[in-house]
Structure 1
Amino acid sequence: MRNRLFIVEGLPCSGKSTTSSFVASFLEQKGSICFVDEGTGNHPADYEFHALAPAGLVSDKEEIVSLSQFSGEMFDKLLQYKIYDFLPWEKEMPLMLDKWRQFVQTSDENTTYIFNCVLLQNPMCETMMRFGFSVEESESYISKIVDIIQPMKPVVIYLKNTDIAESIKHTANERPGWLDDVINYHVNGNYGKQIGAEGFEGYIKCLEERQARELRILCNLSLEKLIVDNPQRDWNSAQERIRNFMMTL
């Protein structure tokens, strides 16, 4: 049975979008693909911008709705029920696992799927950064996802970055306002508060620990994986290594 799910992971500014596009282009030569980049808003295995609206707010029953469909006062009301960032973990986790199950059940057996993050990044932002859970708790949750997607023979390509601060600074120059937002998110989350993170340096400390945890978790997961060290230093070499790896699958 062939690998039907490829997931590119790594820290912000590590080159996930570029690498995901490269992987998609390579796999497209072999057959039908579905490439889902980060931030699409309608992810088949994720609730990027959705809320769990309580009964009586949108309809007469509790339901998951896309926040992109709403604006104004209704948007503000729904935002407090956003699945990421707002729901308590005991409500969020089963919703996310069910979403993964739905994806596997409805996926096209003749299509290869390529995702930018969602297996490590999104769960770690919630379990580690938002809730301050231990690495063991994060791994337990991520392992549940891997168990669900095993029928698709998942493959993870991880972009390891030891130039984290430099990569963030480079990207920040191209995205006005972005850096302030991500710093606030990280230093004000439970993990950031646990370590007393402040400002840019605190943000980088959060990312360094997140990467260390992700690599530890990844090494324990039962799936095909490739870890690419510092691809940003030589993209041609990194892509050649990724190409050679995929040809062995």
Structure 2
Amino acid sequence: MRKLLIVEGLPCSGKSTVSKHIAEVLGMEFTDEGSGDHPADYEFHAFLSESELAEFQSEERELISAAAEKRCGGYVVPIGGFSGALFDRLLAHKIYDFLPWETEKPIMLDKWRSFAESAASSAGHVFNCVFLQNPMCETMMRFGFDSSVSEEYIREIYDIIRPLEPFVVYLKTDSIAAEVKRAVPERGEEWLNGVIDYHCGGEYGKSLGLSGFEGYISALEERQHRELAILGHLGIDSIIIGNFKNDSQKAYDEILAAIFAK
């Protein structure tokens, strides 16, 4: 029995809408991107080694230890519960954004293992992304790694969740620029400026001299190309839906049929 369904695709492709609908139809637990307490991801957490924790003042260490979870030889700390100077110091150790890859990777794989163990006895989960998008944002956009490195990491995640019989719905976007422009009135210029800065300012964007809206779209086009290639190599059960928003009901019918057929 499938315990994990994951909806992937580029920004503005309809991932939230589709994943929520699938969860409602199948009676599974839905976890959206940015929910704050993701069972398989660290969205706003810091990681401190024992030596890094020792650099804080005694009172600060007590506060951090009380909020933290001991994992991977260190401490995973939810940053949102802190403020002021202590918040700023913890932010410098944020998972995603600041940790070196050799530190971050085992922490994330450990989180996936923890989720896989707990999900085995659950009614099932539906995730909005995290299987492809988050690893690609880190390995490709932030660090500028080759696609083979991204694929190796994603395959490690797949090996961990394989007992859950995962199924991936990939929402492929043909008109990427048009979909992003259509979303700006709702999401705002601040959102657009943020994603442009992220995609053009990371190692991938800098290596190609990407800038502005065109640079952002170029990065997304390459990311989608790589994600679809990796998805094909993995052998994971999946379906690719082209331009979901053109005929959402037809897409839903195809998705549900594919989930039960495989």
Deviations 1:135-176 (A, max 9, x none): 001000000000011111111000000110011011111112
Distance (whole Å) between structure 2 residues aligned to residue 59 and residue 72 of structure 1 = 15
Which one of 216, 224, 239 corresponds to residue 226 of structure 1?
239
Distance (whole Å) between structure 2 residues aligned to residue 148 and residue 70 of structure 1 = 32
One-letter identity of the residue aligned with 1:38: E
Distance (whole Å) between structure 1 residues aligned to residue 99 and residue 35 of structure 2 = 21
Which structure 2 segments of 5+ residues have no match? 66-73
Which one of 198, 201, 209 corresponds to residue 196 of structure 1?
209
Runs of 4+ in 1 over 6 A off after TM superposition: none
Which one of 37, 53, 58 corresponds to residue 55 of structure 1?
53
Paired position in structure 1 for 2:126: 114
Matches within 5 A, 1:1-249: 2-28=1-27, 33-53=28-48, 54-56=52-54, 57=56, 58-59=60-61, 62-176=74-188, 177-249=190-262
Distance (whole Å) between structure 2 residues aligned to residue 137 and residue 110 of structure 1 = 32
Per the TM alignment, residue 246 of structure 1 is displaced from its structure 2 partner at its CA by: 2.3
RMSD: 1.3
Per the TM alignment, residue 108 of structure 1 is displaced from its structure 2 partner at its CA by: 4.6
Which structure 1 segments of 5+ residues have no match? none
One-letter identity of the residue aligned with 1:163: S
Per the TM alignment, residue 243 of structure 1 is displaced from its structure 2 partner at its CA by: 2.1
Please give the TM-score of this superposition, normalised by the length of structure 2.
0.90
User: What SS does the aligned partner of 2:187 have?
Assistant: coil
One-letter identity of the residue aligned with 1:43: H
Deviations 1:190-245 (A, max 9, x none): 00011111100000000000000000000011321000011122212211211222
Percent identity over the alignment? 52
Is the Cα contact below 8 Å between 2:119 and 2:164 reproduced in 1?
Answer: no
Distance (whole Å) between structure 1 residues aligned to residue 122 and residue 158 of structure 2 = 20
Paired position in structure 1 for 2:71: none
Per the TM alignment, residue 107 of structure 1 is displaced from its structure 2 partner at its CA by: 2.1
Distance (whole Å) between structure 2 residues aligned to residue 165 and residue 71 of structure 1 = 38
Distance (whole Å) between structure 2 residues aligned to residue 209 and residue 152 of structure 1 = 29
Is the Cα contact below 8 Å between 2:29 and 2:124 reproduced in 1?
Answer: yes
Deviations 1:51-83 (A, max 9, x none): 013313353774111111112211111111001
Distance (whole Å) between structure 2 residues aligned to residue 121 and residue 49 of structure 1 = 16
